[in-house]
């Protein structure tokens, strides 16, 4: 249905909201990538089929809810984007009763239909079990993972059907675009973004409004807007989840930006490994175009703008703005010198604004609710909220969004539920491969752009990897340097060769061949690579090494001087032994792949250190804490 005017859109919205108000219950099945991998689409199909077979009044389209219904209204059943709590998926959320079912399987569907949907009973075994108090929690409001968050970018993820424009409109979608087109001049939009204090969420933290104004002031009549969805940090999936869960907001945010910049053409650059994001974005763009919300003469206002999707080539360096633009233009993804500003000469050498997915989806709520509303959240220099992917050795992994300025401790120990298996917290790595590792005495550090940078790390796009006492920090630094060697475009010598030399030194230390001057060499190389590299990849690539040297220097010294890995990770520097806790259960004997462990049942076993390959299988399977690492 093409909407030829703002009046037609608002009439449509009114009708959809009336239909939504007539819904008795909404059953939302998470269809983010993680839950889809766990079978959530089969769960959704089974819920629809069995609910109808049971005689329940069920609709799968919002508009249909406005038609014939029972006395209490129909149930509206839909799939959604990521709910965030990936640790306990697949998830089924039932509102307004706020019942969240976790680890749902297709086999659970008949009971959900019979007990909950028909009789209104809660199935205890499907509720979330809190690891801190061992209690079952019924709904999102009861679970610390959710109730400590404040969502802006993620507010509709896990709530709306990402493939339904109707659902998006009913939840207030395109109100901000209508306001921009009918009540604001382009300069007013930029003013609002500036006053909100919105800074780019892709890693650099550059003020978005200043970037937009700089582009608008550049000479030329052609301007481009680009959405960076190339999110390449290991362990990061914020932008992916937004593109999958709220694609219409990505489109709306870019459209508002295009209006402010007098642009008629935009691109979304999506990481090649994100097929579901591409699929849903393509569908959203096609639906928006058909509805008159993209293309020529949007809503009859005379403003025209359209979007194309480019799939990334799998190169981490293409997350850098100038390399990304070269890739969109059909060239090899290599960065350009920084004296060339993309706001003046970007895509096709025309003025260009590039922001990442999270930045673009913050624009509609800023316009809709006002700059002051957004600026009231966060800190003085870091306004609003920030989404993070919380992963690693933490009880509650998943996608979180919190106000800027919250402490690392609150994220890891309150929202994240603390460290797995009750182990000791050791470090948290923020900012992806180019970020730094912060120790326990930095847990009360506020999470904002400037505080993290001052501490030797960075915000980055929002990856947050938690480590415990079993992580070796020399090994962690080596892992990220290896990753960045593979992802360097090789254009400049400091990055191309400097990282290789750093890796060689780290490998030497890990293999027990470290030299007394290796720490000094690493520090010297870090200074050179940072100072002379062409782009941000090289300039920040040294952060993992530099931060681990700063906070965990004793581990480097133990590797080099004592030929010992305190965390028990580096194989060349550890020895496994069986201690007096051994009860002779024989589990380790069966697990050892080389027959290095011998012994009779119910008697202490013996480990032949000459045969041992240090694979760790014995330690992993032992439940008596009988394997010691020296």
pLDDT of 485-533, one tens digit each? Answer: 988 888 889 999 999 999 999 999 999 999 999 999 999 999 999 999 9
Rank 361-365, 413-417, 430-434 by mean pLDDT and report only the highest: 361-365
For domain 16-143, the CATH superfamily is: Glutaredoxin (3.40.30.10)
Of 291, 279, 268, the closest CA to residue 244 belongs to: 279
With vertex at residue 448, the alpha carbon angle to CA 447 and CA 449, rounded to the nearest 5 degrees, is 135
Helix (H, G, I), strand (E, B), or coil: what is residue 59? strand
With a cut of 70, say whether residue 200 has pLDDT above it.
yes
Question: Is residue 132 scored above 80 in pLDDT?
Answer: no
Q: What is the pLDDT of residue 506?
A: 97
Q: How far, CA to CA in Å, does 249 sit from each of 153, 184, 328, 405?
A: 9, 19, 22, 25
Cα–Cα distance for residue pair 423/372, rounded to 1 Å: 42
What is the pLDDT, as a whole number, of residue 255?
98
Looking at residue 459, its pLDDT comes to 85
pLDDT > 70: what percent of the chain?
99
Residue 248: predicted pLDDT: 98
Q: What is the mean pLDDT of the chain?
A: 93
Please, what sign has the CA dihedral across residues 342, 348, 352, 356? negative
Token pair in block for residue 208? 């978005």
Kindly report, residue by residue over 48-70, the tens digit of the pLDDT. 999 999 999 999 998 888 765 55
Retrieve residue 129's tokens: 């079990």
As a whole number, mean pLDDT of residues 193-200 equals 96
Residue at token pair 């890990």: 510
Q: Copy the structure tokens of residue 528.
A: 């050179």
d(CA 621, CA 573): 21
Q: What's the rounded Cα separation, in Å, for the pair 132 and 143?
A: 11
SS3 352: strand
Q: Helices marked H in 552-626 — which ranges?
A: 553-561, 587-591, 617-621
Beta bridge partners of 387: 401
CATH topology of domain 385-471: Ubiquitin-like (UB roll) (3.10.20)
* Cβ 102 vs Cβ 142: under 8 Å: no
Average pLDDT of the segment spanning 368-396: 95
**Average pLDDT of the residues in 151-163:** 95
pLDDT average, residue stretch 290-317? 93
Any idea what the Cα angle at residue 275 is, between residues 270 and 277, rounded to 5°?
A: 60
Q: Are 335 and 323 in contact (CB under 8 A)?
A: yes
How far, in Å, CA of 479 to CA of 416, rounded? 24
Beta bridge partners of 79: 29
Nearest residue to 193 (alpha-carbon basis) of 355, 344, 325: 355
Kindly tell me if the per-residue pLDDT of 576 is higher than 60.
Answer: yes
- Res. 95 pLDDT band, cuts 50 70 90: very high
Is pLDDT of 313 > 80? no
User: Contact at 8 Å (CB) between 249 and 268?
Assistant: no
C-alpha distances in Å from residue 338, one per residue of 62, 206, 528, 536: 49, 14, 18, 10
Q: What is the pLDDT of residue 396?
A: 93
Question: What CATH number does domain 165-375 carry, 2.70.180.20, 3.30.450.20, 3.30.2320.30, 3.40.50.11540?
Answer: 3.40.50.11540
Radius of gyration of the chain measured on its C-alpha atoms: 27
Domain ranges of the chain: 16-143, 165-375, 385-471, 474-561, 575-629
- Is the distance from CB of 93 to CB of 40 less than 8 angstroms? no
Query: In a 3-state reduction of DSSP, which class is residue 492?
Result: coil
Can you tell me the distance from the alpha carbon of 489 to that of 333, in angstroms, rounded to the nearest whole number? 8
Q: Report the alpha-carbon distance of residue 401 to residue 155 in Å, rounded.
A: 9
If phi > 0 it is left, if psi is from -120 to 50 it is alpha, else beta; for residue 220 that is: left
Contact between residue 611 and residue 596 where contact means Cβ atoms under 8 Å apart: yes
* Distance, CA of 355 to CA of 208 (rounded, Å): 8
Rounded alpha-carbon distances, angstroms, from residue 188 to 254, 465, 535: 16, 39, 33
Which strands, in side-by-side order, build the sheet including 92-95?
58-59, 75-80, 25-30, 92-95, 99-101
What is the per-residue pLDDT across 586-595, written as a single tens digit (0 to 9) for each?
Answer: 999 999 999 9
What is the pLDDT, as a whole number, of residue 68? Answer: 56
Please check whether residue 560 is in contact with residue 519, taking contact to mean a CB–CB distance below 8 angstroms: yes
Q: At 65, list the tokens.
A: 């809810």
Contact 99, 93 (CB under 8 A): yes
Topology of the domain comprising 474-561:
de novo design (two linked rop proteins) (1.20.1440)
At 537, list the tokens: 């990849």
pLDDT of residue 70: 52
Mention the CATH class of domain 575-629. Answer: alpha beta
Structure-block tokens of residue 95: 């509102």
Per-residue pLDDT at 336: 86
Helix (H, G, I), strand (E, B) or coil at 419: strand
Q: How many CB atoms lie within 10 A of CB 49?
A: 13
Instruction: Give the pLDDT mean for 404-432.
Output: 93
Q: Is there a common fold for 165-375 and 575-629?
A: no
């Amino acid at each position: 249905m093409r909407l030829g005017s703002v009046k037609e859109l608002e009439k449509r919205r009114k009708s959809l909201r009336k239909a939504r108000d007539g819904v008795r219950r909404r059953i939302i099945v998470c269809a983010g990538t993680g839950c889809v991998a766990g079978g959530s689409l089969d769960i959704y199909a089974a819920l629809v089929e069995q609910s109808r077979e049971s005689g329940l009044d069920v609709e799968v389209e919002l508009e249909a809810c406005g038609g014939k219904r029972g006395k209490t209204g129909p149930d509206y059943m839909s799939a959604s984007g990521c709910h965030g709590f990936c640790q306990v998926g697949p998830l089924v959320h039932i509102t307004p009763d706020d019942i969240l079912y976790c680890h749902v399987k297709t086999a659970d569907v008949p009971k959900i239909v019979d007990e909950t949907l028909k009789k209104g009973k809660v199935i205890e075994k499907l509720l979330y079990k809190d690891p801190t108090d061992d209690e079952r929690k019924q709904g999102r409001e009861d679970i610390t993972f959710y109730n400590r968050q404040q969502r802006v970018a993620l507010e509709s993820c896990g709530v709306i059907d990402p493939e339904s424009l109707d659902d998006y409109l009913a939840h207030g979608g395109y109100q901000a675009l209508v306001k921009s087109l009918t009540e604001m001049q382009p300069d007013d939009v930029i003013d609002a973004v500036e006053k909100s204090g919105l800074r780019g969420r892709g890693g650099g933290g550059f003020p978005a409004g200043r970037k937009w104004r700089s582009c608008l002031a550049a000479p030329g009549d052609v301007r481009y807007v680009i959405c960076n969805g190339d999110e390449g940090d290991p362990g990061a999936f914020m932008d992916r989840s937004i593109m999958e869960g709220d694609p219409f907001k990505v489109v709306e945010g870019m459209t508002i930006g295009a209006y402010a910049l007098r642009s008629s053409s935009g691109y979304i650059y999506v990481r090649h490994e994100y097929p579901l994001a591409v699929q849903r974005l393509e569908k959203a763009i096609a639906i928006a175009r058909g509805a008159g919300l993209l293309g020529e003469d949007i809503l009859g206002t005379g403003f025209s703008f359209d979007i194309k999707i480019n799939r990334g080539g799998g190169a981490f360096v293409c997350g850098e703005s100038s390399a990304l633009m070269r890739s969109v233009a059909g060239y090899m993804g290599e960065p350009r010198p920084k004296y060339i500003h993309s706001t003046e000469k970007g895509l096709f050498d025309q003025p260009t604004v590039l922001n990442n997915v999270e930045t673009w989806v913050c624009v509609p709520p800023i316009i809709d609710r006002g700059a002051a509303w957004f600026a009231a959240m966060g800190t003085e220099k870091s306004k609003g909220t920030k989404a993070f992917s919380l992963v690693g050795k933490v009880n509650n992994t998943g996608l979180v969004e919190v106000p800027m300025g919250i402490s690392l401790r609150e994220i890891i120990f309150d929202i994240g539920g603390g460290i797995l298996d009750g182990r000791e917290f050791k470090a948290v790595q923020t900012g992806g491969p180019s970020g730094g590792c912060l120790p326990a005495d930095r847990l009360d550090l506020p999470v904002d752009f400037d505080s993290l940078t001052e501490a030797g790390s960075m915000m980055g796009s929002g990856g947050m990897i938690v480590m415990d006492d079993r992580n070796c920090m020399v090994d962690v630094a080596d892992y990220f340097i290896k990753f960045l060697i593979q992802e360097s475009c090789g254009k400049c010598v400091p990055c191309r060769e400097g990282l290789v030399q750093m890796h060689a030194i780290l490998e030497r230390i890990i293999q027990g061949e470290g030299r007394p001057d290796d720490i000094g060499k690493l520090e010297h190389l870090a200074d050179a690579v940072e100072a002379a590299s062409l782009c941000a990849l090289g300039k920040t690539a040294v952060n993992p090494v530099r931060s681990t040297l700063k906070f965990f220097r004793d581990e480097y010294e133990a590797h080099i001087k004592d030929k010992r890995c305190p965390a028990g990770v580096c194989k060349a520097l550890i020895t496994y032994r069986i201690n007096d806790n051994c009860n002779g259960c024989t589990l380790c004997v069966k697990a050892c792949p080389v027959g290095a462990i011998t012994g009779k049942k119910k008697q202490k076993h013996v480990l032949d250190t000459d045969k041992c390959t240090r694979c760790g299988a014995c330690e992993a399977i032992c439940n008596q804490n009988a394997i010691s690492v020296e």
